[in-house]
Structure 1
Amino acid sequence: MTTDYEGSAPAGRVLSSGSTASQQAGMFPHGHLGHLSAHQEEALERFKVVLQEKGLWRPGPPASHDDQTLLRYLRARRWVVDDALGQFKDTEEWRAANNIDTLYRTIELEAYEQSRRLYPQWTGRRDRRGIPLYVFEIRTLDSKTIANYEKQGANSTFSQAKTDGKTPPGLLRLFALYENLTRFNQPFCTQLTDRDHADVPVTMSTNIVDISGVGLKQFWNLKGHMQAASQLATAHYPETLDRIFIIGAPIFFSTVWGWVKRWFDPITVSKIFVLAPHEVKPTLEAFIDPKNIPKKYGGELDYSFGQLGIPDPAWEGVIRWEKGHNSFPSGPLLWEDVPGEERLACVRLGAENGKTQREVICTLPKTWGLTEKSSDESTATESSATTSTNTAATTINDVSEGTQTSEDTLDDSTQTDGAAEAIEKLKIDEKAETKTTEVTPMTAATAAA
């Protein structure tokens, strides 16, 4: 790289209003790196041994898959090593068969942007715990749009990737977005130290799903597409969800919910909350600072669905923008070590008219180790089922299987009666998270639109 990588110090740590309560609860970040029980530590070590014996993991350095990635599979399978092995193996074979790394690195920027504008979008902000916040407006997915999207995708992957022919080709572009979230967004949020539990890599996402204005017919027409996409994400990007808040539910949504909840593990279902109109503002404010909540949902952020993420003032003094950039662009982004410095560079890849691109967007101080594979290494690895899922880290915005045990409540000094009531409804009993019986998460299953 020819860019000057002169840097600055990381931001200071800022406590969220829920920090005291969450620490007293002793739950978050239970089951995450650095906060494992003896049983969980043992499971992780046994998992590594089995994966290495099967040729699915290399210890490195650098390791082919970092610990926080392996832990996602263990949490998803309730720490049963053999079950986690099966899911991990299936994912590695799927990634290799569909050249997922090549797809991400060589996707046409126009095709990437088309996908980005249809699906959950990062607002550029985080919740009170430093977890990235996404918004998804379902009404943009009408039957005509989806039919056109799938038809175009069936004719081309819009990249140099080859596919196995088994995964619906119309959906493959969607997984470039998942890769962006695991290889760019989650590692980025991990590097930022202005959050509770800054010693724990960020491996989750918080989501606002707006279903206002969506009729029963549109839900029905989307059923097949959303089911296929959700099940693939659940299978291959496990344990990446912390909360989904559903807003604007019409009175018939209880019928729709009957279909949707069958696609997911009961514990995943327990992370989805349908909010009545009077619950939206206090609930969101309990988890997200008002300055980071879009105005449409009662906050202060001037954000509209479709636009790129709005840079956070908290990044000032942390991010050094390059080549005239002042925000993150659309396209496949990933982080690479800056040679000779304790900094990371954000690089945009992708292609325009078949010609691959490479552009440094910014750099920031390195607070977590990270080594991104070169494209040659990725191509070589991808030719076998032992391809690395990713070396960057951690999560993706999807509804996945798991036993996440996070909880956040408001400090007594900031808690309103409305927020208190909302949080009581959102509490997940830690014992209930280990059950296999179905959990009904809806706080207002038949809320009026």
Structure 2
Amino acid sequence: MAEPTPLELDTKYDHYDFPTTAPIPQNGHAGYLTTQQQAQVHQLRLMLESEGYTKRLDTLTLLRFLRARKFDVTLAKNMFVDCEKWRQETHLDEMVPTWEYPEKEEMFQYYPQYYHKTDKDGRPVYIEQLGGIDLTAMYKITTAERMLTNLAVEYERLSDPRLPACSRKSGVLLETCCTIMDLKGVGLTKAPQVYSYVKQASGLSQNYYPERLGRLYLINAPWGFSTVWGVIKGWLDPVTVQKIHVLGSGYQKELLAQVPAENLPKQFGGSCECQGGCPLSDMGPWREKEWAKPAKWETSEQTITNTAGETKDVAAETAPAAPPVASETADAPATAPAPAAA
């Protein structure tokens, strides 16, 4: 087993308050970089600085983009630039500190999607239940744009504060999620709209949030799913495909081998029954006083009122502008949270 080597940090950009060594030796991951790979981090940063970029140039972020492009610095730079352009076009940095999604509970009638505690490796568990998706009904509650914005915001909140809290608790750097996608109820009639939305969300995940998927369990896979899976695999990087486990209705044994019963909601074979229901609890180390710290994008002065029809920035009238936010191959189906990008 390779011995970890300290990550070369840049004092201008790297201000981590959590561990920065990957839990197991993996090529291209923090603590296990070659001299050449460390040099490629510096090269990528210099290229981006030369084009005027100043945000999200910390070492761990650049490493994720480099891994997503097999350490081809030019391709990683292009991916990073495309991501920054998207962030600017969507005003994501301004949105994250103040975003609210008041229609969330009503939306969960059709599409529960939530983070809930951790797997045996200490990573956040993200759960989606796709069987109730009804886009016609959902778009009476919200809009496609708000759904995707909420997805992006949840990815940002995964990056900070969720993953840093999990890293502090586990004592190693955790950068990925364990995702469970429940396909129960996704029959032939519902499949087209389910997969059309998942494809859209997956594109956001792959393009802008690389290296966020640790494992993905597709449970209650219906009869004939192998055909659909053959299509979905075509959207994903081969590295991501290796992380995906397709299981039928007898999934409990394999799932419980990865997620402790006390952390898995009872409906999936675990023993957890959070007060008020697991889907809305958002329980995890990011809620535990010993490990949780305010996200870097948080500002106590700002508030915003978001409704399905409008977004009104109250903070702009009462407080300074919010500070900007910082985010294995770009990949994985996703949604607000969403299968964390691989």
2:279 is aligned with 1:286: no
2:195 aligned to 223, 228, 250, which one?
A: 223
The 2-side partners of 1:306 and 1:314 are apart by 15
Contact 1:68 1:203 in 2 (8 A): no
The 2-side partners of 1:311 and 1:274 are apart by 26
Flag the 1:271–1:54 CA change in 2: closer, same or farther, 3 A: same
2:321 is aligned with 1:375: yes
Q: How does 1:236-251 map to 2 (within 5 A)?
A: 236-251=208-223
Contact 2:305 2:313 in 1 (8 A): yes
Q: Which residue of 2 aligns with 1:76?
A: 68
Q: What is the identity, as a one-letter code, of the residue corresponding to 2:159?
A: T
Q: Which residue of 2 aligns with 1:39?
A: 36
Contact 1:235 1:400 in 2 (8 A): no
Q: How does 1:254-269 map to 2 (within 5 A)?
A: 254-269=226-241
Deviations 1:159-215 (A, max 9, x none): xxxxxxxxxxx633432222222232122223x23x2xx242x21010111111221
2:92 is aligned with 1:100: yes
Q: What is the identity, as a one-letter code, of the residue corresponding to 1:56?
A: Y
**TM-score after normalising by structure 2:** 0.76
Tell me the secondary structure at the aligned position of residue 85 of structure 2. Answer: helix
2:41 is aligned with 1:56: no
Contact 2:177 2:213 in 1 (8 A): yes
Flag the 1:267–1:311 CA change in 2: closer, same or farther, 3 A: closer
Q: What is the identity, as a one-letter code, of the residue corresponding to 1:220?
A: P
The 1-side partners of 2:96 and 2:67 are apart by 26
Q: How does 1:163-202 map to 2 (within 5 A)?
A: 171-190=148-167, 192-193=168-169, 195=170, 198-200=171-173, 202=174
Higher RCO structure (Cα 8 Å, ≥6 apart): 1
Contact 2:115 2:282 in 1 (8 A): yes
Flag the 1:347–1:219 CA change in 2: closer, same or farther, 3 A: farther
Tell me the secondary structure at the aligned position of residue 234 of structure 2. Answer: helix
Contact 2:285 2:291 in 1 (8 A): no
Gaps of 5+ in 1: 1-9, 14-21, 59-63, 158-169, 321-333, 338-344, 358-373, 379-387, 391-395, 403-449
How far 1:147 moved relative to its partner?
A: 3.6
How far 1:222 moved relative to its partner?
A: 2.4
The 1-side partners of 2:240 and 2:132 are apart by 25
How far 1:109 moved relative to its partner?
A: 4.1
The 1-side partners of 2:186 and 2:121 are apart by 31
Q: Which residue of 1 aligns with 2:280?
A: 307
The 1-side partners of 2:304 and 2:230 are apart by 41
How far 1:267 moved relative to its partner?
A: 1.6
The 2-side partners of 1:87 and 1:301 are apart by 40
2:181 is aligned with 1:209: yes
**TM-score after normalising by structure 1:** 0.59
2:267 aligned to 287, 296, 303, which one?
A: 296
Flag the 1:264–1:99 CA change in 2: closer, same or farther, 3 A: same
Tell me the secondary structure at the aligned position of residue 77 of structure 2. Answer: helix
Q: Which residue of 2 aligns with 1:352?
A: 305
The 1-side partners of 2:291 and 2:83 are apart by 35
Tell me the secondary structure at the aligned position of residue 188 of structure 1. Answer: helix
Q: What is the identity, as a one-letter code, of the residue corresponding to 2:77?
A: L
Contact 1:240 1:398 in 2 (8 A): no
Contact 2:165 2:285 in 1 (8 A): no
Contact 1:281 1:298 in 2 (8 A): yes
Q: Which residue of 2 aligns with 1:274?
A: 246
Q: What is the identity, as a one-letter code, of the residue corresponding to 1:352?
A: T
The 2-side partners of 1:39 and 1:116 are apart by 47
Kindly, what percent of the aligned residue pairs are identical?
26
The 1-side partners of 2:201 and 2:136 are apart by 17
CA RMSD of aligned residues (A): 3.5
Deviations 1:108-130 (A, max 9, x none): 4415666677353111x111221
Q: Which residue of 1 aligns with 2:79?
A: 87
The 1-side partners of 2:261 and 2:299 are apart by 28
Tell me the secondary structure at the aligned position of residue 128 of structure 2. Answer: strand
Q: What is the identity, as a one-letter code, of the residue corresponding to 1:96?
A: Q
2:145 is aligned with 1:145: no
Contact 1:336 1:347 in 2 (8 A): no
Tell me the secondary structure at the aligned position of residue 122 of structure 1. Answer: strand
Contact 1:76 1:401 in 2 (8 A): no
The 2-side partners of 1:177 and 1:319 are apart by 17
How far 1:218 moved relative to its partner?
A: 0.8
Tell me the secondary structure at the aligned position of residue 222 of structure 1. Answer: helix
Contact 2:131 2:183 in 1 (8 A): yes
How far 1:313 moved relative to its partner?
A: 12
How far 1:239 moved relative to its partner?
A: 1.0
Contact 2:220 2:248 in 1 (8 A): yes
How far 1:52 moved relative to its partner?
A: 1.8
The 2-side partners of 1:268 and 1:212 are apart by 23
Tell me the secondary structure at the aligned position of residue 180 of structure 2. Answer: strand
Contact 2:162 2:285 in 1 (8 A): no
Flag the 1:149–1:255 CA change in 2: closer, same or farther, 3 A: farther
